[in-house]
Amino acid sequence: MDNMETRLIPHRLVVTGHPKLLDSLQEAEAVAAYLKQKGLEAPYGSLYEEQLRKRVHAGEFDLLIAIGGDGTMLRAGHLCAPHGIPVLGLNKGRLGFLFQVDDGGWQKMIDRLLAGDFWVENRMMLRAEQFRSGESLGTWQALNDAVIARGQYLRPIHVKACVDEQYLTTYVADGLIASTATGSTAYAMASGGPILPPELRNILLVPIAPHLSVDRAVVLSEGSAVRMTVLSENSVLSIDGQLPVSLAEDDQVDVRAGEDTAKFIRFGDPGYFYRNLTAHMNQSATIGLPR
């Protein structure tokens, strides 16, 4: 598969945790201690610690271990993707669509990693750029999605979508999601979009609560780009769920495949994605049922 690659066994590891997740940093310390038993010195700390992030940017590591939930994996992906550093995720959250569930515990995963029994999964990121009157106001990389949504007023917005400079449609909705395959299990799925396997390099367009306009998701061809033009006031741009950026009427947001690729450590066969997916769906189906 094109999104898979083998990799040399990493020897320069760093272990990170989410500072607001219970036991996350303690778990990071335990993982670092286990690695030391294996003869590897691995620093550990918060994923948001500035000094640690500087060391990642300086290229001191060839693998980052992230302990937390899907949000932690997103942040780790953003940090490591520009430097081609793979991320091994150890799940301490509730959902974990970005994780590979392993009943054997993290010690077993570390052992397999150090034995070279793993592969690297490549996931496309997006490049989103905001324009106003032809001037670029900002550029962002997204692992999940770039979302144009209504602001503080409870009324729909109008967003014109052009694909490869050809007019597609004008959405009247609470917003429009431009998502990667990774993001198809996030906001896009909650808005009724399809689930895409992680190896796909397609952009998915999903309207949020459409009002008398196109209400179906659209999967763009690989390599296609979309320009979203805001035709009304009261709208914002959010990248991977981060703090929104205000948009003015006639602002344009161009979204295409990004320059960076997020890399995740995986074990066994690629069928893990579907096993995770059905596990989550089955779990959701039982919520609220008597035990």
CATH of the domain at 47: 3.40.50.10330
Residues 33 and 142 grouped into a single domain: no
Question: Is 291 inside any structural domain?
Answer: no
Domain match, 17 and 109 both: yes
* Domain-embedded: residue 72: yes
| Tens digits of residue pLDDT in 97-141 | 888 866 568 999 999 999 999 999 999 999 999 999 999 999 999
Residues 74 and 111 placed together within one structural domain of the fold? yes
Note the pLDDT of residue 105.
84
Q: Is the domain of 48 the same as that of 157? A: no
Alpha carbon of 267 to those of 5, 23, 99, 207: distances in Å?
Answer: 12, 25, 11, 35
> For residue 285, what pLDDT is reported?
47
pLDDT tens for residues 37-64?
999 999 999 999 999 999 999 999 999 9
Q: Are 134 and 255 in a shared domain?
A: yes
Q: Go through 71-103 and write b for each residue having 16 or more CB atoms within 10 A of its CB, e for each that does not.
A: bbbbbbbbbbbebebbbbbbbbbebbbbbbeee
* Total domain count, the chain: 2
> Given 23, 70, 102, 174, which residue is catalytic?
70
Write out the residue range of the structural domain in which residue 140 sits.
Answer: 125-259
223 and 158 within one domain = yes
Asked if residue 140 and residue 244 are part of one domain, the reply reads yes
Statement to judge: residues 110 and 207 lie in one domain: no
More confident residue, 1 or 41: 41
Instruction: Return the structure tokens found at 256.
Output: 């295409």
Does 186 score more than 80 pLDDT? yes
Q: Is 177 a domain residue? A: yes
Question: What type of residue sits at position 169?
Answer: T
pLDDT of residue 96: 73
pTM over 0.95: no
| Statement to judge: residues 53 and 22 lie in one domain | yes
- Give the CATH number, domain containing residue 177: 2.60.200.30
Same-domain status, 39 and 66: yes
Task: Please give the mean pLDDT across all residues of the chain.
Answer: 91
Q: What local confidence, expressed as pLDDT, does residue 99 receive? A: 84
Q: Is 254 known to be catalytic?
A: no
Are 87 and 195 part of one and the same domain?
A: no
Shared domain check, 93 and 185? no
Contact call for residues 240 and 211 (beta carbons, < 8 A) = no
pLDDT tens digits for range 258-288: 999 999 999 988 888 888 787 766 665 444 4
pLDDT at 277: 81
pLDDT for position 136: 98
